[in-house]
Amino acid sequence: MSVQKTKRLSLVDQVAMQIEQLIESGYWSVGDKLPPEPQLMEQFEVSRNTLREAIRALVHTGFLETRQGIGTLVTSASNLEMAFKKKIKKSKLLETLEVRLTLEREAAQLACERRTEQDLSDMAGWIERCRAAAETQNFSEFIEMDIAFHKAVVRATHNQMFVELYDHITEALEQSVHELLLRTAAQHGYDIHTDLFEAIERQDVDTAVRSINAYMNQAQDALAASMNKLESPS
223, 180 Cβ separation under 8 angstroms: yes
Distances in whole angstroms, Cα of residue 221 to Cα of each of 135, 165, 196, 225 = 22, 25, 19, 6
CA distance 191 to 212: 12
CATH 1.20.120.530 occupies which residues in the chain? Answer: 80-231
Please state which CATH class domain 11-74 belongs to. Answer: mainly alpha
Q: What is the pLDDT averaged over residues 194-198?
A: 91
Q: Other C-beta atoms within 10 Å of 145: how many?
A: 25
CA distance from start to end of the chain: 66
**Of 216, 208, 219, whose CA–CA distance to 110 is shortest?**
208
Q: What is the pLDDT of residue 121?
A: 96
Superfamily of domain 80-231: GntR ligand-binding domain-like (1.20.120.530)
**Of 212, 95, 99, 97, whose CA–CA distance to 153 is shortest?**
212
pLDDT, tens only, 11-63: 999 999 999 889 888 899 888 999 999 999 999 999 999 999 999 999 887 78
Q: What is the pLDDT of residue 3?
A: 47
Residue 224 — left, alpha, or beta (φ > 0 → left; ψ -120 to 50 → alpha)? alpha
Give the predicted TM-score (pTM) of the model. 0.62
**Of 123, 145, 125, 122, whose CA–CA distance to 133 is shortest?**
145
Q: What is the pLDDT of residue 49?
A: 94
CATH 1.10.10.10 occupies which residues in the chain? Answer: 11-74
